Amino acid sequence: MTGAAKALFVPLALAVGFSMIGSYLLSSTLVPILSVWLLRNHEHFGDSAFFSKVQKRYRGSLSK
């Protein structure tokens, strides 16, 4: 490519590439760590009405 097409395509391709790499790194490191951290004491969250509603809806969606 040359000209204006190259000037627009290269930054866009780099942005998409870096965002995909960042998304992969976060989804394979940060998300599992946060889920373990949040669900470690799941009995503590059982007292919360909001969390119990979320759990019931999630169980219902899994059973379907």
pLDDT digits (tens, 9 = 90+) for 4-58: 888 899 999 999 999 999 999 999 999 999 888 888 766 655 567 787 888 889 9
Query: pTM of the prediction?
Result: 0.52
Q: How many of the other CB atoms lie within 10 Å of CB of 55?
A: 14
